[in-house]
Amino acid sequence: MSLHITGGEVLADALVHADLVTDGETILSLDSAAPAGALRLDASGLHVLPGIVDCHGDAFERHIMPRPGVSFDIDLALRDADRAMLASGITTAFHGVTWSWEPGLRGAGNARRLAERIVALKTELGADTRFHLRHETFNLAAETEIIDWLGSGRVGVLAFNDHTGGILKASARTDKLARMVERTGLTQEDFMALAGNVWNRRDEVPGSIERLAAAARAAGIPTMSHDDMSPDMRRWYRGLGVSVAEFPINVETTREAAAHGEAIIFGAPNVVRGGSHLDCPAAEAMVRQGLCTILASDYYYPALALAPFILARKGAANFASAWQLVSQGPAQALGLSDRGVIAPGKRADLVLVAPEPQPRVVATIAGGRLVHLADQRILA
């Protein structure tokens, strides 16, 4: 169905008063006559913005396991997460699925089921939903299977994660360790024994990363390194063709990525909360310094639609540049040249937002379909 969106401020290079016409899945034009039978949406008082591309979101985990040890059907969880994302203006979603050496929520069985069900439910979900494999680098047993997944096109983006050292350090903090253990279904004693056995194979990890990075390059799959700890670590990953720095943990490492024109991801919740909850760089400060090119939902979907408005209000970036952090920036980094901007011929992924008093998503259009509507008054 064609759409005719009238009366709104459309974000092209800047916010401009214009009408917008879609034709099926794509944007047809600005300020031209609508095809006969087009559904008209009155966007008066609203911003008409490119749909949000979320390159890293793992809030869906709470739809699967809302409490430790309490799990729900994965199809139910994915459908529920889809509705939450659409209500937040997310039209392209990369579910950050952690495949670790630990069992339970982040174990092999769950990763395999999610990979299967994301594909199986693709036509039912409103957002274009893809698989972001957060590979725990100490999960050596998974290497061969992941290489097969990369070759088959099952993986949308591959991220290299290493939380094993942090888990071992957390053994001194019983509260933090308890939360990790609960999601595995193991006793604390068994969990720590497993972690120790995994750590003993640490010399094998660099070679495994190199082989996986090579397989991703061969398959044309974008790759990220997560929580880069130093400029040297970023340089090492760069040498493997891993060109996206996801949540670098200090400014020096962030500057190393920026100096080479690499995509740099920080969390939108970091912006909304006014800083990192882990004492990492403040995303707002990174945006001000030109050291952030992408914002991700991380653990909280609504933050993505809010963060650009906050950045613009505080003068950290003009609004058009701030919105690019959640649309064009991630689309370009992940090779999705058909979306992220409002222009003729691009995919009709759009979000209509009431900017005041607090930004609120009124409607979401994904691939030309009206998939979320919070106010029926815009139906002309």
Mean pLDDT of 120-128: 97
Whole-number pLDDT of residue 173:
67
- The contacts of residue 88 (CB under 8 Å, 6+ apart) are 52, 297, 301, 302, 304, 305, 361
Residue 28 domain-assigned (yes or no) = yes
Residue 341 domain-assigned (yes or no) = no
The reply to whether 24 and 106 lie within a common domain is: no
Whole-number pLDDT of residue 68:
80
The reply to whether 39 and 182 lie within a common domain is: no
Whole-number pLDDT of residue 31:
86
Residue 26 domain-assigned (yes or no) = yes
Question: Domain total for the chain?
Answer: 2
Task: Read off the pLDDT of residues 227-274 as tens digits, 9 standing for 90 and up.
Answer: 999 999 999 999 999 999 999 999 999 999 999 999 999 999 999 999
Task: Read off the pLDDT of residues 134-188 as tens digits, 9 standing for 90 and up.
Answer: 999 999 999 999 999 999 999 999 999 998 877 777 666 666 677 778 878 888 8
Strands 244-246 and 263-267: parallel
The reply to whether 186 and 72 lie within a common domain is: yes
Residue 238 domain-assigned (yes or no) = yes
Residue 379 is given by DSSP the state B
Whole-number pLDDT of residue 163:
84
Mean pLDDT of 78-84: 98
The reply to whether 262 and 359 lie within a common domain is: no
- pTM assigned to the model: 0.94
Mean pLDDT of 4-30: 95
The reply to whether 113 and 244 lie within a common domain is: yes
The reply to whether 186 and 258 lie within a common domain is: yes
The reply to whether 9 and 148 lie within a common domain is: no
Q: How far is CA 141 from CA 106, 144, 172, 326, in A?
A: 14, 7, 27, 35
In the block, residue with structure tokens 């995919």 = 347
The reply to whether 65 and 9 lie within a common domain is: no
Residue 31 domain-assigned (yes or no) = yes
Find the domain containing 256 and state its range.
50-333
Residue 343 domain-assigned (yes or no) = no
Residue 342 domain-assigned (yes or no) = no
Residue 340 domain-assigned (yes or no) = no
Whole-number pLDDT of residue 262:
98
